[in-house]
């Protein structure tokens, strides 16, 4: 079972940037579609972005499109989420997730991902 560990969260002012990292316990390039989700207090877990096995195909939620970018470095077994122009409404716990389903499909539902990290807190002050 693959294990995921997120890092890079913290406190940042509105308009600032952060880069989250998710390192996996095994090679992911040939097996796992990867994604980021987030969950704010009192809210359901929300899709943020997903990336294909090779990294050549990505999707982003409308709420973050143009500000966040998902990428992966399979040589380092790591997935990244570059977050720019952060807003207070981006405040949440951010989770990394892995899917060993169809390699050609990038899901937006949390139920489509079998493996999850412990989460990293991102707080954006106004």
Average pLDDT, the chain: 94
pLDDT band at 60; cut points 50, 70, 90: very high
Alpha-carbon gap, residue 77 to 84, rounded angstroms: 23
Q: Residue 30: is it exposed, middle or buried by C-beta count within 10 angstroms (0-12/13-18/19+)?
A: exposed
pLDDT (tens digit, 9 = 90+) per residue, 69-90? 999 999 999 999 999 999 999 9
CA dist 36 and 95 (Å) reads 6
Percent of the chain with pLDDT over 90: 85
Alpha-carbon distance of 46 to 31, in angstroms, equals 23
pLDDT (0 to 100) of residue 30: 66
User: What are 21's two structure tokens?
Assistant: 């990292």
3 state DSSP class of 5: strand
Cα angle value 97/101/103 (rounded, 5°): 95
Q: Is the pLDDT of residue 27 over 80?
A: no
Report which DSSP code applies to 104: T
For residue 24, pLDDT over 80 is answered with yes
pLDDT at 84: 98
């Amino acid at each position: 079972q693959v294990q995921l560990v997120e890092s890079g969260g913290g406190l940042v002012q509105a308009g600032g940037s952060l880069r989250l990292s998710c390192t996996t316990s095994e090679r992911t390039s040939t097996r796992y579609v990867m994604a980021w989700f987030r969950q704010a207090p009192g809210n359901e877990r929300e899709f943020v972005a997903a990336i294909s096995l090779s990294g050549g195909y990505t999707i982003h939620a409308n709420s973050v499109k143009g500000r966040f970018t998902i990428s992966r470095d399979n040589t380092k077994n790591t997935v990244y989420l570059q977050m720019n122009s952060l807003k207070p409404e981006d405040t949440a716990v951010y989770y990394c997730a892995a899917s060993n389903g169809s390699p050609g499909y990038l899901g937006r539902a949390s139920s489509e991902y079998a493996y999850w990290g412990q989460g990293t807190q991102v707080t954006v002050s106004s």
